[in-house]
Structure 1
Amino acid sequence: MKRIALLSAALLTTTALAGSGSMVPGRTTIAGIVANDPNFSTLLSAVQAAGLVDTLNSAGPYTVFAPTNAAFAKVPQDQLNALLNDRAKLRDLLLYHVVPGRVTSGQVVKLSNATAANNGTLRISTMNGSVMINDARVTRADIMARNGVIHVVDSVIMP
């Protein structure tokens, strides 16, 4: 627990804030953006538990379909606890939310699928004007980071 607190503190102190908690676009890493947005606190805990902080701080580039706390709240508590306590399964699940390369919203809408970092296939479609990644809806797109881009999704994407 002490190590997680230290990692959080390190991430928080190495990123720059710009007004009401938002990050300066393109100046921080994906991990820094996640660490500084209270809507991603569950995702941050999961990334830390899976040992992926260094990956999301690395050069990348990566495209991350980032579930919010509300998205994680849709997962039954016993299932979420089981994932948080199984590092291999958690890591696999989180890597299913990552696509190697920087894929902006303009590029995503032209795709029908993408290969995730865990080698799984993500289905991409549009429904009623919304971009869908499997059954998750993109609610905010193109949050630019130094090492990639984040698209916020309303559900945890299950392989």
Structure 2
Amino acid sequence: MKPFKYAVFGIAGLALAAVSTPSIAKMVGGAEMHASKNIVENASASQDHKTLVAAVQAAGLVETLQGKGPFTVFAPVDAAFQKLPAGTVETLLKPENKDQLVAVLTYHVVSGDVTASALVEKISAMGGKAELTTVQGATLTAMLDGDAVKITDAKGNTATVTVADVDQSNGVIHVIDTVLLP
């Protein structure tokens, strides 16, 4: 999947685009993502997020991510989980490791509705890097690499946003290609 390209428009351009462009459902993992559905409902429909959904269920976070929000979720695809060392996912999914799994998953969530344009504006305003405080309590760093938004975790792992602004009834999802670790 190619990194999502961002175009930064002036405020008038954004307003005009919002008025004149009908809402089109984005495709993620072979499924239409509907802004009328919540984060869990849409992620469950994606063929690329089966591991993430299983992890959310094992962590007991389904009800939270179906809640009012708004939440911004940086959602790793299954291939991102496959890049982790062998046995990592299986270990995290064990009941005795639930606290660690919750920490990893909530590290991918930011309170509020952080759209791609808002994130790019924040990166620009902050001199090329923007810090995002996660629900887990730690920080992610966002930056631009050409037209691609990159998210770096506390361990130095960098994820690329491959699909941005997947609107949800309770927030927004940005699909990423790497699991972020606190």
Q: Structure 1 stretches (4+) deviating beyond 2 angstroms?
A: 17-21
Match runs of 1:20-35 below 5 Å: 21-24=31-34, 26-35=35-44
Contact 2:33 2:166 in 1 (8 A): no
Q: CA RMSD in A?
A: 1.6
Contact 2:26 2:166 in 1 (8 A): no
User: Structure 1 counterpart of 2:136, which letter?
Assistant: N
Per-residue deviation, 1:84:
1.5
**For residue 11 of structure 1, what is the aligned residue in structure 2?**
none
Q: Whose helix fraction is larger, Structure 1's or Structure 2's?
A: 1
Larger Rg: 2
**For residue 132 of structure 2, what is the aligned residue in structure 1?**
114
Per-residue deviation, 1:76:
1.4
* TM-score, with length taken from structure 2: 0.74
Task: Choose which of 129, 138, 146 in structure 1 pairs with 2:169.
Answer: 146
Per-residue deviation, 1:21:
2.4
Three-state SS of the structure 1 residue aligned to 2:114 is coil
Three-state SS of the structure 2 residue aligned to 1:63 is strand
Distance 1:62 1:42 in 2: 20
**For residue 60 of structure 1, what is the aligned residue in structure 2?**
69
Match runs of 1:5-84 below 5 Å: 21-24=31-34, 26-84=35-93
* TM-score, with length taken from structure 1: 0.85
Per-residue deviation, 1:77:
2.4
Per-residue deviation, 1:158:
1.1
**For residue 5 of structure 1, what is the aligned residue in structure 2?**
none
Q: Aligned pair 1:94/2:105, yes or no?
A: yes
Three-state SS of the structure 2 residue aligned to 1:126 is strand
Distance 1:47 1:77 in 2: 20
Unpaired stretches in structure 2, ≥5 consecutive residues = 1-24, 124-129, 153-157
Per-residue deviation, 1:128:
2.7
1:9-36 deviation line (CA, Å, top 9, x unaligned): xxxxxxxx99962122x10000101111
Distance 1:79 1:35 in 2: 22
User: Structure 1 counterpart of 2:141, which letter?
Assistant: R
**For residue 158 of structure 1, what is the aligned residue in structure 2?**
181
**For residue 147 of structure 2, what is the aligned residue in structure 1?**
129
Three-state SS of the structure 2 residue aligned to 1:38 is coil
User: Structure 2 counterpart of 1:39, which letter?
Assistant: D
